[in-house]
């Protein structure tokens, strides 16, 4: 009996590969631990008043930019930051917003025994070990390769989610993420966490204002390409750094055309789209906006970096 060759799983017929995905990656707003210079890691700390203001200002900056999907770390400081950004969408003319998907793979680095200790202690331990701080692994802590594996897990999840959506719906502005039901992952008026956060700054309109020149723009981000899928991602400084590191390892290079018929190999005159100097922990609510193409969860390419560690909303 002739053995049959297993066939690869086909993609849904309504999906044209490669998918073009716009990612807007945001670091959470400030916490009291940030203010005091204390390592948080997996400790579930809340935003402080300044952090709520920062996230709301970012939401106002991006109010007219339509997102089809939203992902956030399941730690409250990132999750609420994502809610606050999306809460401003309806004021920008968007009739619906995506429901937030909480993901453990977007968490901050686990720092083991050094969590809830001053950053100065981590710096001292790294210095004694004669290592750079990001490379130093405290007792029971997570290593950089483990963080990078979580970054890849997120990109695989991202592809599964966006490839299940009809790109025709995305281009027509139809909401592609799950419906908002007033639960903990939505941005509805029934969301107590969001309502409580906004009440903190209800009398702080002066502190929430962004530049009038930004408010007058039809869009702040270059999201207009019809078949692109726009995703908001809220995470933590260390994990954002490692997501960008993974993406930079799969990037087009300066001088390389984004064309399947022209695959130029990197040379000494080419460089990655993300310079190593940007592989750092960004400021609170700084955002990076970039475009990548995805054939599947393991086959993706960073094709353009539009903004990196941008803090225009805090000007």
Catalytic positions, written as ranges: 28, 108
Token representation of residue 216: 């007058």
Residue owning tokens 């100097």: 277
Helices 192-200, 76-87: inter-axial angle, 10-degree rounding: 80
Alpha-carbon distances of 30 from 33, 53, 118, 283, rounded to whole Å = 8, 9, 16, 9
Residue owning tokens 């799969």: 250
A 10 A CB-CB count for 123 gives 12
Distance between CA atoms of residues 176 and 94, nearest Å: 14
Backbone angles phi, psi at 194, to 5 degrees: -70, -45
**Strands 19-27 vs 229-235: parallel, antiparallel or unpaired:** parallel
Nearest alpha-carbon partner for 176 in 234, 232, 102, 98: 98
3-state secondary structure of 297: coil
Nearest alpha-carbon partner for 107 in 144, 171, 64, 150: 150
């Amino acid at each position: 009996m002739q053995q049959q060759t297993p066939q690869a799983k086909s993609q849904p017929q309504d999906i044209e590969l490669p998918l073009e995905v716009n990612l807007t990656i945001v670091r959470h707003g400030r916490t009291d631990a940030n203010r005091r210079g204390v390592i948080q890691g997996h400790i579930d700390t809340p935003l402080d008043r300044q952090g709520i203001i920062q996230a709301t200002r970012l939401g106002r900056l991006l109010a007219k930019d339509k997102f089809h999907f939203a992902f956030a770390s399941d730690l409250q400081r990132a999750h609420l930051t994502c809610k606050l950004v999306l809460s401003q969408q309806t004021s920008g003319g968007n009739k619906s917003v995506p429901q937030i998907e909480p993901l453990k793979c977007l968490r901050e680095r686990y720092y083991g025994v050094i969590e809830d200790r001053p950053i100065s202690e981590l710096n001292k331990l790294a210095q004694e070990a004669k290592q750079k701080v990001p490379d130093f692994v405290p007792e029971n802590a997570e290593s950089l390769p483990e963080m990078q594996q979580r970054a890849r897990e997120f990109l695989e999840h991202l592809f599964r989610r966006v490839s299940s959506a009809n790109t025709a719906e995305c281009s027509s502005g139809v909401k592609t993420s799950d419906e908002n039901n007033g639960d903990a992952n939505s941005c509805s008026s029934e969301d107590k966490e969001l309502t409580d956060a906004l009440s903190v700054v209800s009398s702080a309109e002066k502190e929430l204002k962004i530049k009038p020149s930004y408010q007058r723009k039809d869009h702040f981000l270059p999201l207009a390409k019809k078949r692109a899928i726009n995703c908001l991602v809220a995470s933590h400084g260390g994990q954002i750094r490692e997501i960008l590191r993974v993406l930079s390892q799969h990037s087009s290079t300066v001088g390389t055309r984004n064309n399947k018929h022209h695959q130029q190999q990197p040379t000494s005159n080419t460089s990655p789209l993300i310079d190593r100097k940007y592989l750092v922990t960004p400021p609170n609510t700084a955002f990076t906006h970039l475009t990548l193409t995805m054939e599947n969860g393991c086959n993706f390419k960073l094709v353009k970096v539009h903004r990196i560690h941008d803090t225009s909303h805090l000007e």
